[in-house]
Structure 1
Amino acid sequence: MREKFLKIKKNLIYFLCGFLLAAFMLPSLPNLSINLFSQDQKIIALSQNLNRENINSPLGINLNGIAYWSSQQPFLDYFKSSRQWITQCAKADPDCRGEWNTKEEELLDLDENGWVKSLPSPEDSPEYTRVSTVFMKGTKGIPNQFVGGKYIVLYEGEGKISYGLSAKQDEAASTPGRDVIDVDASKSNGILITILETDPNKTGNYIKNIRVIKAENESLYRSGGIFNPEFIEKINKFRSLRFMDWMGTNHSQQKEWKDRPTPDMATYTLKGVPLEVMVALANQVQADPWFNMPHMATDEYMANFAQSVKKSLDPNLNVYVEFSNEVWNWNFQQTHYALKQGQKRWGEDKGDAFRQWYGMRSAQMCEIWKGTFGNEKGRVVCVMGAHTNAKGSETKVLDCPYWVAEGNKPCYQHGIDAYAITGYFSGALGQPENASTVESWLKDRDEGMKKAFKQLRKGGLLPDDRDSLMDNYEKFVYHSNIAKERGLQLVAYEGGQHIVGRKDVVNNEKLTNFFIEINRHPQMYELYTQLFKDWKEVGGTMFMHFVDVGKPTKWGSWGALEYVDQSESPKYSALMDFITQNSCWWEGC
């Protein structure tokens, strides 16, 4: 469909260009030529936005969450990734203990977008007299996480701002409302911005709308740009962008539409990235967005969300929509909420109520979205997820007999298009039962690395022996059959390597370093390539890697790239090469 659209658009552009040439050659038609030129510019601009690099891509990407320590750096304005305000005081203030954080956030005088309207004086009862925030916070031992050099700080209002940690103000180059700072990238402690005074004349003109932009990107930002060009380049070949972490889906407190995040918010790390920004990214990259509805969202919230997407998303794009994320994972509040709601509806003795309530809400969500899109409902791809490793549990979600007993059709028959599982492999290297064995491999690093990759491919070397690529293939076959039986697409909502310490192993520094080394090893390219080949062979459709950019830590090495300026890695190269060598293979792609 996309190729046909591009062909028609290309022919239209050629026709208009030819017509323009004729128009300019006819003096009697000057006004016509001007009007057509204006229209032609619009068409060419739209054509330039069409991304030919991902039009046949079989892979999508999960975007890492927005955080002050993230190396993803997706926005031109780095302040959007800043942490919440830290309340502080000066050592010279009465009763100030010189703490980094007085933890008085609940006393902050904030406007609707999170900007500080006033600060207490030293004589007031709160201990804090200033506020600070940090972003671009690095991790020791990992080079090139952030780019140093000159940055521009734009702001509105009256007051006094200071800079610290890796940043130093160039006072000679600074003017009111536009400061220039020098950032030392060799330091990993980030940029500190402190508001020392705000609205000193008590006129309501407090410091707000702080933006921090690389000096070379200031003109791009002022012309309306939103996203870091380096970030766009790294995600440009992916067919779809899953915004689960950008939306703060896990543990989300979103419920009412009026409480959603908006573009003017000071930072996107607290409530998530606004819908308008996510749609803008999808439009710019020409990638299908994948949205996750909050587990407490009202029907009105979902209908308004769908209506906004319908109005603003490029009509050439589809949209994937999923209810929450992993509503089977007890680490997430949404699973506990689903159990409570399900048992309230069907009985306290129903231990599987959380799965069936999730299935019901997924069905209701799908009907809301497709109803909102009306005659364009074919653009909406409704996703229903399953617990990949809990074979058999998916029937509770798909068929939802409790809801069926109320007179409804099975949940998957309410417009659901795709059945979603994970595509992770880990070889169980991080399981506590395997820790001593894996640690013994470190005595001979080269031989230990060979054993690790053998375990990842086929298993057989560890007491707790699971989650190899071979195991994954068997799971793919099982779930492919489940999808086929119900006429659904099989998609992978997340996937890739899952090598991370579990329980106490997370604090084993030797194993953490070994796991990071495995992720950086050239053989990871081969494992990723095999993973995608296996997925294609069993009839899977779009595969969403987890995630795009992220620093390796004891909590995992999830990023295909470790920092946004990194040019390549074994994992990222495998993703790019598979996209280049494999056009999407499923019907309608």
Structure 2
Amino acid sequence: MRILCLLLLVLAACGHSSSPVADLHEKEKEKIPEIQLPPSSPPSSSETVASAKANATSALAINIDGADYWSPQWTYVNIMHASSNWFPQCSPWRTDGNQQACLALDRDPNPANNWDTGEQLDLDQEGWVRSLPPLNDTRRIYRFATVVMFLGARGHYPAGKYTVLYDGDGVIEYGADAVQDVSASTAGRHVFTVTTPTNGGIKLTITKTDLQQNGNYIRNIRVIVPGGICNGDPLSHHRDTTSCSAAGDRYQSFEEIHEQQLFHPLFLKNLSRFKALRLMAFAYTSYSSVADWNDRAQMQAHRWNQWHKGPPPEIFLHLANKIVADPWINLPHMASDDYIRELATLTKQMLGEKQKVYLEYSNEVWNHTYPYSIAGDYVEQEGLSQWPRVTPFEARLNAYAKRTVEMCRIWKQVFVDAPQRVVCVMGSQAGSDWVSEQVLSCPLYTAENGNIPCADIVDALAIAPYFGFLVDDAKVATVRSWIREADGGMTKVFEDLQRGNFLQTAFGYMEEHARVAEAHDVDLIAYEGGQHLVALGNVLNNSYRDIHDLLAKANRDERMGELYMQYLEGWKERGGKLFSLFSNISTPGPHGSWGAREFETDDEATKWKAIQEFMNNHSRWWGE
């Protein structure tokens, strides 16, 4: 049983949604000048009274997924920030391109080549398309540049009239679900309508740019979602003026306020009850190539979801401020001391005075599976260069603990007048209390640094005590026999969860790590957690879709909500403190059903309702 559960934990964060179209080519290298956020950070009292009350005594945090173009999460008011890369396209049906080459490409057996020619685009420093090939260019096949939004979101995105604002001279066309309202469109401001959202999402294509050849190419495109807010409340969402029409009401459209209202009100409202926001997936920490402060994503970049950079740090701090939540920041594994100090300084400047910051070095450095191995292998090599005579895993854990301590000391120096606001987190593996002992005692590092164990510097030990089972080749026949039963297998799934004592196993992990945390005088918190029903190995293939569907349905079953209540109450009873669920919103798929909700308006989701009920029944049970 322990081996099985260890496997579960190693695979725990494999739940990030895969792209319905490969996430294209990261060819551009931005060096973008910095701009300022709208003047709303730190949070003002008028904006945050309701949200402060909503999460003031909350015991739960939540992980937020990245704002990917296929996500049904309504992160931004300007959805260009959550678009795909630009990718080069051609059309064999148009006469304004290299038709013969495009026809040949269209016959290619690889359908991806028909969608993306794979050629190098001419982009400026901010990621905008600077030029397109002339009609007589026979060396290049592409003639257009396209981005997509909400492609793969299964139609779970806003219907209505979208406004597109842009600078420059050229031609923009729209496709998939988007139909341009030509009569309402003018140069620099277009309107398109999405009547019935589908899985096809929104397609925006530049077909001509810089018409006068004077450098005035199309740039600074903003795609503003329908609706607005009422009476200046950033958490209120109104489709139009009809629901904000009482005497004294003041409606503001998103077009009017998109520079101030960066985040969609429903996104903010749905997060507003959580005490902390873990930003690991939102910032694409596991994929980060950021080392120096100048490497970070900048505000002018055309999108804020590049996997190797993540969003600008200002953005996730602004998000935390909007709902008076504590940001849980995962630092990139290659971050320099200068990066760490600059981020700490920015955080101190922007964050509200009553907010804390949870600080964690990378994510699951103990984990050998991809993508966690990107950071883990890097840290392991750092450790082996310092302690070449120990096992690679010991070197990895001690180097991880060492860097966590170094990071923590820098941040507490920056927050010298209030160091208690910085909660330094030591991440560990729920299935191994030995790992927790290693990172807290850090014997190799301690021996060289005055015999001060790492536990004396950090504030909390964090684990991810998931519960559930996996379906591998050996279990396929059994699970398919469940599916053939009258209820499609639901009864058997929950019988198996009970019979396998998966909750009890998770409770055992909690108890083991609570003892370790107590022995080292640190808090026990959870960086991730929740159900873990997932396919493994060959069972991830589409030929096992019946099994994927069964596991997704189990996540929607009322009995899953009952298990969540028992699970979270068990965490409280065993002395755990802040618990960060994984995750806010994600679409179910072969790799799991990780979201508490499947889309932004999924308010009746079983897991979501259980989480809300737990927060209704249990306020924070520990002192600040």
Q: TM-score range by the shorter chain?
A: 0.7 to 0.9
Is the 2:163–2:255 Cα contact (8 Å) retained in structure 1? no
Paired residues for 1:110-509 under 5 Å: 110-124=123-137, 125-138=139-152, 142=154, 145-217=156-228, 219-223=253-257, 224-270=260-306, 271-330=309-368, 331=370, 332=372, 333-347=374-388, 350-352=391-393, 353-413=395-455, 415-426=457-468, 428-446=469-487, 448-459=489-500, 468-507=502-541, 508-509=544-545
The whole-number CA distance in structure 2 between the counterparts of 1:317 and 1:43 is 13
Distance (Å, rounded) in 2 between the aligned partners of 1:431 and 1:263: 44
Contact 1:362 1:411 in 2 (8 A): no
Which segment drifts farther, 273-282 or 317-326?
273-282
The residue identity in structure 1 corresponding to 2:83 is S
When residues 478 and 136 of structure 1 are mapped into structure 2, their CA distance, relative to the original with a 3 A threshold, is: same
Whole-angstrom distance in 2 between the partners of 1:443 and 1:437: 10
The aligned amino acid for 1:448 is: G
DSSP-derived class of the 2:54 partner: coil
Deviations 1:25-84 (A, max 9, x none): xxxxxxxxxxxxxxxxx9752663652011101001100112110001111111111111
Partners of 2:57 and 2:255 lie apart in 1 by 31
Q: Shift of residue 348 of structure 1?
A: 6.3
Residues of 2 paired with 1:429 and 1:421: CA distance?
19
Partner of 2:613: 577
Q: 1:408 Cα shift? A: 4.2
Deviation at 1:456, TM superposition (A): 2.0
Relative to structure 1, the CA distance from residue 447 to residue 187 in structure 2 (aligned partners, 3 Å threshold; closer, same or farther) is closer
Q: What per-residue deviation string (whole Å, max 9, x for no partner) do you get for residues 447-506 of structure 1? A: 83222113223416xxxxxxx111101111000001000111100000011111011111
Q: Which amino acid aligns with 1:160?
A: V
State the Cα RMSD in Å: 1.8
Question: What is the one-letter code of the residue matched to 2:519?
Answer: E
* Amino acid aligned to 1:579: M
Distance 1:409-1:180 versus aligned 2 partners, 3 A rule: farther
Shift of 1:373: 0.9
Kindly provide the amino acid, as one letter, of the partner of residue 435 in structure 1: V
Q: Please point out which of 572, 581, 596 is paired with 1:536.
A: 572
The CA distance in 2 between the partners of 1:87 and 1:43, in whole Å, is 44
Residue 225 to residue 447, structure 1, CA distance change in 2 (3 Å): closer
Structure 1 position 116, deviation (Å): 1.2
What does 1:32-71 correspond to in 2, within 5 Å? 45=46, 48=49, 51-71=52-72
SS at match of 2:227: helix
In structure 2, what is the Cα distance between the partners aligned to 1:420 and 1:177?
Answer: 49
Q: Provide, for residues 501-538 of structure 1, a one-character-per-residue CA deviation record: whole Å limited to 9, x for no partner.
A: 01111121111010011000011110000010100000
Distance 1:425 1:410 in 2: 35
* 2:11 counterpart residue number: none
- Distance, in Å, in 2 between the alignment partners of 1:484 and 1:176 is 65
Residues 460, 523 of structure 2: 8 Å contact kept: yes
Tell me by how many angstroms 1:302 deviates. Answer: 0.6
- Structure 2 counterpart SS, 1:215: coil
Output the CA distance in 1 between the equivalents of 2:447 and 2:170: 64
* Distance apart, 1:221 and its partner CA: 4.8
CA distance in 1: counterparts of 2:212 and 2:399, whole angstroms: 55
What's the offset of the Cα at 1:378?
1.0
- 1:325 and 1:164 map into 2 onto residues whose CA distance is 38
Name the CA distance, whole Å, in 2 between partners of 1:474 and 1:301: 38
User: Given the superposition, is the C-alpha separation of residues 409 and 455 from structure 1 closer, same or farther in structure 2, using an over 3 Å criterion?
Assistant: farther
What displacement does 1:238 show?
0.6
Aligned to 2:12: none
Cα pair 2:333 2:361 within 8 Å, conserved: yes
- Per the normalisation by structure 1, the TM-score is 0.87
1:410 shift after superposition? 4.5
The C-alpha deviation readout for 1:520-576, integer Å capped at 9, x for no partner, is 001111000001010000000010011111111112111111110122211001111
Of 109, 117, 136, the residue aligned with 1:102 is 117
Residues 194 and 264 (structure 1 numbering): CA distance in 2 closer, same or farther, change over 3 Å?
same
User: Which residue matches 1:17?
Assistant: none
SS in 1 for 2:433: coil
What amino acid does structure 2 have at the position aligned with 1:471?
T
1:326: Cα distance to partner?
Answer: 0.2
CA distance in 1, matches of 2:359, 2:185: 46
**TM-score when scaled to structure 2?**
0.83
Of the structure 1 ranges 435-444 and 304-313, higher mean CA displacement relative to structure 2 is found in: 435-444
Partner of 1:564: 600
Amino acid at match of 1:193: L
Instruction: After TM superposition, give the deviation of residue 215 of structure 1 in Å.
Output: 3.0
Count matched residues.
534
- Report the 3-state secondary structure (helix = DSSP H, G, I; strand = E; otherwise coil) of the residue aligned with 2:205: strand
Q: Which amino acid aligns with 1:147?
A: P
Amino acid of the residue matched to residue 183 of structure 1?
V
Superposition deviation, residue 362 in structure 1: 0.5
3-state DSSP of counterpart to 1:163: strand
CA distance in 2 between counterparts of 1:431 and 1:294 reads 33
For residues 310-350 of structure 1, the C-alpha deviation after alignment (integer angstroms, 9 at most, x for no partner) is: 00011110100100000011222111111111112211653
2-side partners of 1:416 and 1:441: how far apart? 47
Q: What secondary structure sits across from 2:157 in the alignment?
A: coil
Distance across 1 between alignment mates of 2:125 and 2:338: 22
Amino acid at match of 2:278: R
User: Where do 5+ consecutive residues of structure 1 fail to align?
Assistant: 1-41, 461-467
Could you tell me the percent identity over the aligned residues? 37
Q: Is the 8 A contact 2:470 2:532 kept in 1?
A: no
* Counterpart contact for 1:364–1:414, Cα < 8 Å: no
Compute the displacement of 1:111 (Å): 1.9
Compared CA separation, residues 122 and 411, structure 1 to 2 (3 A): farther
Q: Which moved more, 1:109-118 or 1:237-246?
A: 109-118
Assess if the C-alpha contact under 8 Å between 1:149 and 1:183 holds in 2: yes
Which 5+ residue runs of structure 2 have no aligned equivalent? 1-42, 107-113, 229-251
Q: Distance in 2 between matches of 1:409 and 1:377?
A: 23
Give yes or no for the alignment of 1:88 onto 2:103: no
* Contact 1:367–1:414 (CA under 8 A) maintained in structure 2: no
Look up the SS of the partner of 1:164 in the other structure: strand
1:66–1:245 Cα contact (<8 Å) kept:
no
| Mapped contact 1:61–1:547 kept (Cα < 8 A) | yes
For residue 432 of structure 1, report the CA deviation from its aligned partner. 3.4
